[in-house]
Amino acid sequence: LPIAALPKPPTEPLVTETTATSVTLTWDSGNSDPISYYVIQYKPKSLEGQFQEVDGVATTRYSIGGLSPFSEYEFRVIAVNNIGRGPPSELVEARTGEQAPSSPPLKVQARMLSASTMLVQWEQPEEPNGQIRGYRVYYTTDPHLPLSMWQKHNTDDSHLTTVGSLITGTTYSIRVLAFTSVGDGPPSDIIQVKTQQGVPAQPADFQAEAESDTRILLTWLPASQERITKYELLYWEGEDGTQQKVEFDPTSSYAVEGLKPDTLYKFRLGARSELGVGVYTPMVEARTAQSSKCLTLNTTG
């Protein structure tokens, strides 16, 4: 009788099909004796460490799904018999296909170069899902129109562009999206700019975060090449509190202190130059922490 032994490795798998999220493999058993089933191991090529496994595969062809688009993976196959697992096959590599980006460009900013020409800049999306072929800059004086009716300026895959022939003395809304050979990704949130020479751009990436029960820290991207003399901060307590206004010298963060505990505050920020105030940011909100002070009740007997 032949001595029962662990299986030999299957032949090197062949990649027969790829989509943006799946890879199909085929292989030969590599064994003359019966095999109970196969195990497919796979991992992103860029990652050291553990393989993920598909267990109990009864055929010699299998499609692995749930993969990330435009990513390189390594695959290998193990044969299993009633004694146990044999050694793995040779590794085979495959790259998944492209998709449209699933996130917008980051850190979109706009500023005026002259009274009718603006510079728009941004960074690549977090999830490009492929080779970015270019970007579309959409702009309009009426942000209520559907995006398809905004004016459009296409650019190759550089991260900045100028848009000219703008109407002066008005406010433009701007959105940017990235595209791959498969299609367009989602557009960024609206940013705005005033077509007036020498007025600063809208502060970008404005964020509020509670640091304690009485203090909220505001941060934004430092503005480049602009003669900002002051920032103007508007804020409100709760839904219908009165507007407070603070001015301070150019910086890229500011802490608002002396606030009430466990209270929602809303903020808008604008930058001022000698020639006027730029467009304020959209509103951001943060809630202060709950008070850490204990209440002591005086009981008089």
Residue 232's H or E segment, with its range, is strand 230-237
Domain coordinates of the chain in residue numbers? Answer: 14-95, 106-194, 207-287
Nearest alpha-carbon partner for 195 in 285, 110, 298:
110
Could you read off the pLDDT of 37-62 as tens digits, one per residue? 999 999 999 998 899 999 999 999 99
Architecture of domain 207-287: Sandwich (2.60)
pTM: predicted TM-score of the whole model, two decimal places: 0.80
Contact between residue 120 and residue 105 where contact means Cβ atoms under 8 Å apart? no
User: Exposure pattern of 229-241 as b/e (b: 16+ CB <10 Å)?
Assistant: eebbbbbbbeeee
Give the single-character DSSP code of 170. S
For residue 221, pLDDT beyond 80: yes
Could you read off the pLDDT of 112-163 as tens digits, one per residue? 998 899 999 999 999 999 999 999 999 999 999 999 999 999 999 899 999 9
Cβ-proximal residues to 190 (8 Å cutoff; 6+ apart), any chain: 143, 173, 174, 175, 282
For residue 299, pLDDT beyond 90: no
Residue 106 tokens read as: 């980051």
For residue 296, pLDDT beyond 70: no
Domain at 14-95, CATH from 3.20.20.70, 1.25.50.10, 2.60.40.10, 3.30.70.270: 2.60.40.10
Architecture of domain 106-194: Sandwich (2.60)
CA distances from 173 to 13, 94, 139, 192, 220 (A): 52, 42, 6, 4, 19
Nearest alpha-carbon partner for 26 in 16, 35, 38, 18:
16
For residue 301, pLDDT beyond 90: no
